[in-house]
Structure 1
Amino acid sequence: WLTDRIGRKKLFFVTLAVYLTATAATAFSWNLASFALFRFVTGAGIGGEYTAINSTIQELVPARYRGRTDLIVNGSFWIGAAIGAVSAIVLLDPAVIDPELGWRLAFLTGAGLGLVVFVMRLWIPESPRWLMTHGQPERALKIVADIERMVPGGGEPDRPLPKIRLTMRTHTPLREVADTLFHAYRSRSLVGLSLMVAQAFFYNAIFFTYALVLTDFFAIPAANIGWYILPFAAGNFLGPLLLGSLFDTLGRRTMIALTYSVSGILLAVSGYLFSIGVFSAQTQTIAWMVIFFFASPAASAAYLTVSETFPLEVRALAIALFYAIGTGIGGVAGPALFGVLIDTGSRSSVFAGYLLGSVLMVAAALIAWRYCIDAECKSLEEVARPLAAQNN
């Protein structure tokens, strides 16, 4: 909602400031209640970050690079996860530092990394599309010209581009937002919601219970969990890095359906092997690394899909809405369900949870194959006409 009113760039700094402040405050928690409160606020900042980041990527990056750029930027989360895992190995080791101090330093480390990102964002311009609809066309044209000079092959397009006339507006009424999402673009909403829910359950259910599986079923000491997160993070980053360009060449429909279905099938197979006790901790980690090599670009493609298939004025709110619903259904229910399943101590019970995640991913793949928009190498205005566009 704020993204449409104050702009992409301002919200960039607001959400990151919320995240930084809450993460740093977590290091000074004095009891469980304060810890939970600060983590709640941190989550609010992260949720806002997804909205600001993805809407900005779509509106700044040229169409022919939009898919791979979105996937790689979202996948870079796992670089931070790897750094966090390494720092945790040191800071949570009682032989190195007092545990009462170590966990607090771990959160301060996260806040410190965020400060670096904060400074880097000073060079990111405002969205020219947002500026155009909010009465600042001169600024928008200057930003576009700067981007074209920096992009190889930029400059004059190889075909005539359609022109549209926009009506300036300060904001988009919520009634118009609701009509756009649930009436005019309801099939796109179905795709976006399906992808978001499936990837949220898949990711949160497995990643948030990763340590529990290793400690409860493979007897890995808690102090060593960080070493197992490193290859997991590597698979999650390499997937978008190596497969990202295919989303711009083979196309959205093909790659989304492929990555979602392959992730689901591989999870079902590895879940069965886990249930019969074939895996060791090392081979289980390798299996998850391979699975999330495909699941990571699949999850990022959910944000890509939502952020590029709706009109400019509702883009950020669409991301926020579907992210919230997906996280509420998959991100809350998934870890809660798997926590119960793991607590039973039964591998078969955990396998049943993996099968549920597999079914959700395959179902999302089928929905995407049927209803996904072929948005590759198309301008955002070709994919979804702005609401502010005049009919004449």
Structure 2
Amino acid sequence: MGITKRLGEMPLSAWHWRLLAIIAVGWAFDAMDTGIVSFVLPKLMGLWNLSGAQMGFIGSIGLVGMAIGAALAGSLADSMGRKKLLAATMLIYGLGTGGCGLAWNYESLLFFRFIVGFGLGGQVPVAVTLMSEYSPDKYRGRMIVLLESSWAIGWLAAAVISYLVIPQYGWQIAFFIGAFPALWVIYVWKAIPESALYLVKKGKLQEAHDIVCEIERSAGIPCGAMPTAGETNVGKKTSFAFSQLFTGVYLKKTICLWILWFGLVFSYYGIFMWLPTMLVKAGHSMVQSFSFVMWMTGAQIPGYFTAALLVDKIGRKPTLASFLILCAGSAYFFGHATTWNEILLWGCLMSFFNLGAWGLMYTYTPEMYPTEARASGTGWAGACGRIGGILAPIVVGMMFTGPDKFSLVFAMFTGVLVIIGLNVLVLGEETMNKSLEETGGE
């Protein structure tokens, strides 16, 4: 039995949960860094006398870094290995986040936010690829959505830190706390293995076999036989040109994923990076706005768990499309909410469905490409998404010129979410319970 089949048919074990936990810590700090910025912006707006356009650029410059980091790290991970790139990108964004705490003016903060974005954008496609390649076929969707759920934990941590720490100790300390991944990377390097599927592609059968045997022992099953070159993809294509993403069976997949990523990232960063500021400008106090966002962030966690429950039962395509359409409806009503209860209800539902959709998107994307292109295909889709994220804060900054524009901004997000939901229904394909060989066309 080949390495891919052994990994795909493996029962879940403590080994899988440990790998998930290790990667999830880095993912949570990724979210915490992004969240801290959204809470720091209202403070800096007064402290540094920033305009709406300048605040938009603080959010967008990190996304420029994310786009470059996602494309570059994804491609490098397919040639150099998942583990090396995961560690390198984690170190970069950890150091960059610490640098944000040392920023002395608007320009220096922009520089450090670009560095942070480069590391964050690079980590995501590599981490999700590694987790996908070690997850059993039957549970792969659930494991990736659970990995993405750590984003909500990171955002919640950012909200708590911002609520409790920033008012008393200043905004810099929040960034210093967010620099923890620069230390966590030491443990990551020692604790996680290289992707066995990547090793097979590079002809390192013995090393891949040893790793899979360790997982099998953790699951309480006998170690499988050492595969021969004929039972694996050794000797087959090990490189994948960017242009191939737009040829043959990959063209439809790439178009679907790029539209999905662009729209979902646009809606997320446009809504959540501006949300505390928009609520303040709409007439709520800063304390009220932080409170609203904390509740909305908490709603993300059951959103992820619901997505994790459904993704391996009713499928990727119907679950993802449903979450996107329901998020669109919630965004529309949130934009027209006037009372405290309405803001809280529709805001929590919008957050529930939006972040559940993110977990589903991360499950879906790496399943579309073969091993030699999985990280780069995911990275380029992520890069396209970050373009949406770059534009979103700027667009919101230009549109939101007063409280009367609140409903207009969220009507725009409603339209975007409906479009990408229909995109999944029309162009998407179902991948539930299929091996990575089947879904990726290996």
Q: TM-score range by the shorter chain?
A: 0.7 to 0.9
Q: Which residue of 2 aligns with 1:12?
A: 86
Alpha-carbon separation, structure 2, partners of 1:187 and 1:78: 31
Alpha-carbon separation, structure 2, partners of 1:350 and 1:153: 57
Q: Is the contact between residue 63 and residue 378 of structure 1 (CA under 8 Å) also seen in structure 2?
A: yes
Cα 1:181–1:305, aligned 2, differ >3 Å: closer, same or farther?
Answer: farther
One-letter amino acid matched to 1:178: S
Q: Residues 243-262 of structure 1: matches in 2 within 5 Å?
A: 243-262=307-326
1:78 aligns with 2:134: no
Q: Which residue of 1 aligns with 2:216?
A: 148
Q: Is the contact between residue 240 and residue 373 of structure 2 (CA under 8 Å) also seen in structure 1?
A: no
Q: Which residue of 2 aligns with 1:297?
A: 356
Alpha-carbon shift at residue 153 of structure 1 (Å): 8.6
One-letter amino acid matched to 1:11: L
Q: Which residue of 1 aligns with 2:397?
A: 339
1:66 aligns with 2:146: no
One-letter amino acid matched to 2:339: F
One-letter amino acid matched to 2:390: V
Alpha-carbon separation, structure 2, partners of 1:45 and 1:230: 26
Q: Is the contact between residue 307 and residue 315 of structure 1 (CA under 8 Å) also seen in structure 2?
A: yes
Structure 1: 5+ residue runs without aligned partners? 157-161, 387-392
Alpha-carbon separation, structure 2, partners of 1:154 and 1:195: 41
Alpha-carbon shift at residue 114 of structure 1 (Å): 5.7
Alpha-carbon shift at residue 26 of structure 1 (Å): 1.4
Instruction: From 326, 333, 340, give the equivalent of 2:385.
Output: 326
Could you give the per-residue CA deviations for residues 283-323 of structure 1, whole angstroms, max 9, x where no partner exists?
31332111221111212222222211111111111111111
Alpha-carbon shift at residue 267 of structure 1 (Å): 1.5
Aligned-residue CA RMSD (Å): 2.3
1:198 aligns with 2:263: yes
Q: Which residue of 2 aligns with 1:218?
A: 283
Could you give the per-residue CA deviations for residues 108-156 of structure 1, whole angstroms, max 9, x where no partner exists?
0111266346525632221110000012111111222222343489989
Q: Is the contact between residue 68 and residue 248 of structure 1 (CA under 8 Å) also seen in structure 2?
A: yes
Alpha-carbon separation, structure 1, partners of 2:246 and 2:134: 23
Alpha-carbon shift at residue 226 of structure 1 (Å): 3.5
Cα 1:114–1:288, aligned 2, differ >3 Å: closer, same or farther?
Answer: farther
1:111 aligns with 2:185: no
Instruction: From 183, 196, 220, give the equivalent of 1:128.
Output: 196
Q: Which residue of 2 aligns with 1:361?
A: 417
Could you give the per-residue CA deviations for residues 357-381 of structure 1, whole angstroms, max 9, x where no partner exists?
2222222222212232221121100
Alpha-carbon shift at residue 352 of structure 1 (Å): 2.5
Alpha-carbon separation, structure 2, partners of 1:107 and 1:113: 12
Q: Residues 380-391 of structure 1: matches in 2 within 5 Å?
A: 380-386=436-442
Alpha-carbon shift at residue 65 of structure 1 (Å): 1.0
Q: Which of 111-120 and 376-385 deviates more?
A: 111-120
Alpha-carbon separation, structure 1, partners of 2:330 and 2:308: 20
Q: Which residue of 1 aligns with 2:234?
A: 166
Name the % identity: 24
1:230 aligns with 2:299: no
TM-score scaled by length of structure 2: 0.77
1:42 aligns with 2:116: yes
Q: Which residue of 2 aligns with 1:390?
A: none
How many pairs are equivalent? Answer: 363
TM-score scaled by length of structure 1: 0.86
Q: Is the contact between residue 307 and residue 360 of structure 2 (CA under 8 Å) also seen in structure 1?
A: no
One-letter amino acid matched to 1:133: K
Alpha-carbon separation, structure 2, partners of 1:313 and 1:38: 32
Alpha-carbon separation, structure 2, partners of 1:311 and 1:194: 20
Structure 2: 5+ residue runs without aligned partners? 1-74, 225-229
Alpha-carbon separation, structure 1, partners of 2:246 and 2:90: 27
Q: Is the contact between residue 262 and residue 294 of structure 1 (CA under 8 Å) also seen in structure 2?
A: yes
Alpha-carbon shift at residue 225 of structure 1 (Å): 4.1
